[in-house]
Amino acid sequence: MTSKTVAELLSQEVTLQEVTIKGWVRTFRAKRFIALNDGSTINNIQCVVDFENFDEATLKRITTGAAIHVTGDLVESQGKGQSVEIVVKTLEILGDSDPETYPIQPKKHSFEFLRENAHLRTRTNTFSAVMRLRSSLSFAVHKYFNENGFNYMHTPIITGSDAEGAGEMFKVTNLDAKNPPLNEDGFVNYKEDFFGKETNLTVSGQLEAETYAMSLGKVYTFGPTFRAENSNTSRHLAEFWMIEPEVAFMDLAGNMDLAEDFMKSVLSYVLEHNKEDLEFLDKRLADEDKTKPQAERSAMGLVEKIKFVVDNNFKRVSYTEAIDILKSSKPNKKKKFNYIIEEWGADLQSEHERFLVEKHFKCPVILFDYPANIKAFYMRLNEDGKTVRAMDILFPGIGEMVGGSQREERLDVLKEKMKALDIDEEELWWYLDLRKYGSAVHSGFGLGFERLVMFATGMSNIRDVIPFPRTPQNAEF
């Protein structure tokens, strides 16, 4: 008799056989029916206890949250909605759970409450489904790149460079807080903070990934990134995971093709492999939708939305075209898109992006060729001298999912740009070397993994798709 998971037991053909299983009690009804979950699937297995065979003291300890070990016969179930159940022969309490204090009761809890109990929230259906999907998507990411000839590269977490030039970095320091080195003006000399060098937690692995693309050809990173922006939105974290492919000899059009193919591939993977979790989340959203006024309800269900993205082409639109669309749209006084006019040269606000994807195109949109002065220094300048080969991919309900570009490969143009932005050439000597020795067209993008998980799970707050969110409010765990 081997120990099996609930997922394995539920997918088996029923033949009367003795099984053994360990898991956590979700509910115990009528001193008879245990709903047992072990995290392997959204479904519980029902364990039927003949209470006459067990002493009262043991029965009392079968409480929500308790860890138990059951052996019994797997039989066809008489109950609705389950194929098999276990008729319990032996039952061992592995770990008690005091029903008075256990925070996860068998009822609906708010996501805010569960966020405060992030160490236990994966014992609920919603969060276990979300985190299984997150795991599955991670696997699909590696699978895609592996099957397409990419090398997985680990970029440094502690770094001296600000890849984005946005100044949103967390400092890394080994300074003695009580006795820090001071500069001539009496201020702390942070230049000496990490063994004599100013360093930060990485905001992006891109610059380092470029070095490997220029030798290994096709590479990608998939790791934690940090942004010290004090933004309290449902789409920003201080610590998030980013996927960054970088490819030599690939231009912006190739970059768009890669991003689109990649996203469709990983989403198809979960459609195929996470059916039950997706169906559960789909139903959760449908139920939530029913409580909303008609106008705010979603036109498509979760699975339908994912299928739509997989089956349809992303719309490719230049920044200039997008501005024309925004300018010709009437200002909408309604709350959500209250100001949709924009002038050429301005950075798009999230309400502009939402208007474009949710109201105008109603599908994922790849915006490209942005004005040079609103984008990072490393992007390839177009022949018009004022736009760069940048692309952002915008998703309905999410906003910006991907940011990427073709990189400036011409040494003189790059140096000029760095000079204009006051970026020290000496700090990035190694980055400039790539343009000195065997330079070539190359491109890449960064995809915020949590935003992808939000799209695939229908969760509306980014704090609910990462195990232990790091935001200005959440750093407990």
Under the rule (CB under 6 A), what is the footprint of ligand 4AD? 163-164, 204, 206, 227, 236-237, 240, 242, 244, 400-405, 444-448, 450-451
Least CB distance from residue 403 to Mg ion, whole Å? Answer: 3
What's the min distance (Å) between Cβ of 119 and Mg ion? 32
Residue 135 has a CB neighbour count (10 Å cut-off) of 12
What single-letter amino acid sits at 335?
K
- Reading the block at residue 472, the tokens are 């200005």
How far apart, in whole angstroms, are the C-alpha atoms of residue 367 and residue 401?
A: 12
25, interface contact from ligand 4AD, Mg ion, none, CB < 5-8 Å by kind: none
In the bound state with ligand 4AD, the residue whose beta carbon lies nearer, of 4 and 115, is 115
Task: Tell me if residue 253 falls in helix, strand or coil.
Answer: helix
Query: 221 - beta bridge partners?
Result: 244
Residue 258 zone, left/alpha/beta (φ > 0; ψ -120 to 50; rest): alpha
User: To the nearest whole angstrom, how small is the minimum distance from the Cβ of residue 450 to Mg ion?
Assistant: 14
CA max distance for the chain? 85
Q: Counting beta carbons within 10 angstroms of the beta carbon of residue 429, is it exposed (0 to 12), middle (13 to 18) or buried (19 or more)? A: exposed
Partner from Mg ion, ligand 4AD, none contacting 204, C-beta within 5 to 8 A by type: ligand 4AD
Is the Cβ of residue 204 or residue 457 nearer to ligand 4AD in the bound state? 204
30: left (phi over 0), alpha (psi -120 to 50) or beta: left
How many helices (H) and strands (E) are present in the chain, helices listed first?
Answer: 13, 16
**Contacts of Mg ion in 57-116 (CB under 5 A):** none
Q: Which does 63 bind (CB under 5 to 8 A by kind): ligand 4AD, Mg ion, none?
A: none
**Closer residue to ligand 4AD, CB minimum distance, 42 or 356:** 356
Handedness of CA 190, 165, 346, 387 (dihedral sign): positive
Nearer to Mg ion, 84 or 379 (CB): 379
Kindly state the smallest distance separating residue 412's Cβ from ligand 4AD, in Å: 22
- For residue 391, the minimal CB distance to Mg ion (Å) is 10
Q: Which is nearer to ligand 4AD, 194 or 449 (CB)?
A: 449
Calculate the CA dihedral of residues 449, 454, 460, 463 and round it to 10 degrees: -40
Q: By CB under 5 A, tell whether 399 contacts Mg ion.
A: no
Task: Provide the minimum distance between the beta carbon of 139 and ligand 4AD in the complex, in angstroms, as a whole number.
Answer: 20
Q: How far apart are CA 305 and CA 278, in angstroms?
A: 11
Give min distance, CB of 419 to ligand 4AD, in A.
Answer: 21
List the one residue from 65, 301, 403, 404 that touches Mg ion (CB under 5 A). Answer: 403
Beta carbon nearer to ligand 4AD, 35 or 237: 237
Closest CB to ligand 4AD among residues 44, 406: 406
Whose tokens are 């998030």? That residue is 240
Write out the residues near Mg ion by the rule CB under 5 A.
403
